[in-house]
Amino acid sequence: AQSVSQHNHHVILSEAASLELGCNYSYGGTVNLFWYVQYPGQHLQLLLKYFSGDPLVKGIKGFEAEFIKSKFSFNLRKPSVQWSDTAEYFCAVNGPTGRLAFGKGNQVVVIP
């Protein structure tokens, strides 16, 4: 089965700081990769996704992620965070059955 690892479950940083969240997965086959964001009290929304092509993916709100196949990683980055980026971030990867597996999430708090 596919497993998805997200480290540093709680991240606290100040506005304008840079953010990087790690995502590693176990399945070695062809993968589709996703980052979702869940703002406080809301549902999960797609931030960005990678299916094929350029491994550097641009998403909404200034987020980007890089797929590194050799490292089984799909890390999320934002150069300068805002208070409104306070949210929980989930990485998701499809496994051998095709079904998406979600990581346990990163709780990010941005201090004004």
- Is 77 one of the binding residues for other proteins (CB under 8 A)? no
> CB of 83: closest distance to other proteins in angstroms?
23
- Is 49 one of the binding residues for other proteins (CB under 8 A)? yes
CB closer to other proteins out of 17 and 64: 64
**Burial class, 64, CB count within 10 angstroms (exposed 0-12 / middle 13-18 / buried 19+):** middle
Kindly tell me the number of DSSP H helices and DSSP E strands found in the chain. Answer: 0, 12
CB 3 within 8 A of CB 91: no
- Is 102 one of the binding residues for other proteins (CB under 8 A)? yes
- Is 100 one of the binding residues for other proteins (CB under 8 A)? yes
- Is 94 one of the binding residues for other proteins (CB under 8 A)? yes
Cβ neighbours of 67 (radius 10 Å): 20
> CB of 18: closest distance to other proteins in angstroms?
26
- What whole-number distance in Å separates Cα of residue 54 and Cα of residue 102? 23
- Is 43 one of the binding residues for other proteins (CB under 8 A)? yes
